[in-house]
């Protein structure tokens, strides 16, 4: 009897292992990796216009930190890099509806987004900082002072910029724009008091366009990790992406991109017509 029970248990374990293996193999076949390799191309969703992550140069080419990151990812997968320009507000929906394979568009990893899509490990961290019109120089020295109805604060629609203004500056009057440059110029042209947005963009804008009319409170007041977004339920692709990020951060490729796009603004002339 004991032998019979042992044999039955062994058979049950083997059956369970076979079912599990079959399920794992089926999951692997459904991975986005397989469709990318089969098509021979990686479709990367992004929204151009966000310095220094994704931009259009004076010849009409896409350039920026995220563009280079996407190219490196495609090279690692041995497929063609295909940029897919998508409005940021519709980015998550575009990924879910298979209009792109990944999102590499300076997207902050948030809990609300993570309920709809998965993220690889963060590839860079940024935070919200503030650009103010020069008329406030010497008067406003911290972001907290903007929490007052006498100030008009600008943010970018549908981003963590807008969320930060609503959360941290609820008393201020607010207005949103669809594009970063339009919002920052509103302050530069003295039509608003402050612009709240990701620190890397603000550093570039201040250095290249706002130095004569604005000043920058350059210490971020939020922590925002940016990540590569993929569809949910794809552990194989997630594993590949995390290993890819570890590799480029250890072999010098990441440092070269970071120095080129984040540390310096030498690239800025490429965007000027």
Task: Render pLDDT for 249-260 as a digit per residue (tens, 0 to 9).
Answer: 999 999 999 999
* End-to-end Cα separation, the chain, in angstroms: 86
- 125, HSE (Cβ side, Cα atoms, 13 Å): 7
Classify residue 122 by its DSSP letter: P
Please tell me the distance from the alpha carbon of residue 210 to that of residue 238, in angstroms, as a whole number. 40
pTM above 0.85, yes or no: no
Cα radius of gyration (the chain): 23
197 pLDDT exceeds 70? yes
- List the chain domain ranges: 32-125+225-271, 128-222
Query: Which pairing describes strands 152-156 and 194-198: parallel, antiparallel, or unpaired?
Result: parallel
Judge if 32-125+225-271 and 128-222 fold alike in CATH terms: yes
Nearest to 76 by CA among 241, 235, 231: 241
Is domain 128-222 in CATH 3.40.190.10, yes or no?
Answer: yes
- Determine contact, residues 48/85, Cβ cutoff 8 Å: yes
Distances (CA, A) of 243 to 57, 155, 225, 246: 31, 35, 18, 5
Average pLDDT for 51-70: 95
Please tell me the distance from the alpha carbon of residue 32 to that of residue 54, in angstroms, as a whole number. 24
32-125+225-271: which CATH architecture? Answer: 3-Layer(aba) Sandwich (3.40)
Classify residue 207 by its DSSP letter: I
pLDDT digits (tens, 9 = 90+) for 157-192: 989 999 999 999 999 999 999 999 999 999 999 999
């Amino acid at each position: 009897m004991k032998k019979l029970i042992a044999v039955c248990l062994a058979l049950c374990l083997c059956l369970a292992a076979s079912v599990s293996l079959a399920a794992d193999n089926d999951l692997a076949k459904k991975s986005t990796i397989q469709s990318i390799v089969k098509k021979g191309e990686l479709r990367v969703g992004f929204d151009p216009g966000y310095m220094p992550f994704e931009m259009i140069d004076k010849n009409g080419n896409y350039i920026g930190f995220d563009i280079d990151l996407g190219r490196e990812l495609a090279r690692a997968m041995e497929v063609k890099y295909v940029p897919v320009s998508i409005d940021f507000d519709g980015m998550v929906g575009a990924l879910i509806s298979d209009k792109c394979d990944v999102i590499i568009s300076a997207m902050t990893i948030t809990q609300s987004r993570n309920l709809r899509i998965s993220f690889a490990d963060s590839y860079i961290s940024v935070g919200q900082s503030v650009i103010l019109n020069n008329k406030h120089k010497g008067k406003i020295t911290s972001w907290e002072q903007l929490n007052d109805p006498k100030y008009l604060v600008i943010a970018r629609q549908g981003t963590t910029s807008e969320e930060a203004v609503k959360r941290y500056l609820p008393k201020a009057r607010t207005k949103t724009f669809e594009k970063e440059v339009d919002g920052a110029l509103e302050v530069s042209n003295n039509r608003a008091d402050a612009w709240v947005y990701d620190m890397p963009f603000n550093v570039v804008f201040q250095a290249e366009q706002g130095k004569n009319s604005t000043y920058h409170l350059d210490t971020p007041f939020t922590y925002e990790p940016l990540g590569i977004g993929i569809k949910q339920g794809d552990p194989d692709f997630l594993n590949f992406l995390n290993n890819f990020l570890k590799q480029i951060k250890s072999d010098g490729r990441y440092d070269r991109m970071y120095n080129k796009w984040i540390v310096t603004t030498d690239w800025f002339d490429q965007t000027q017509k």
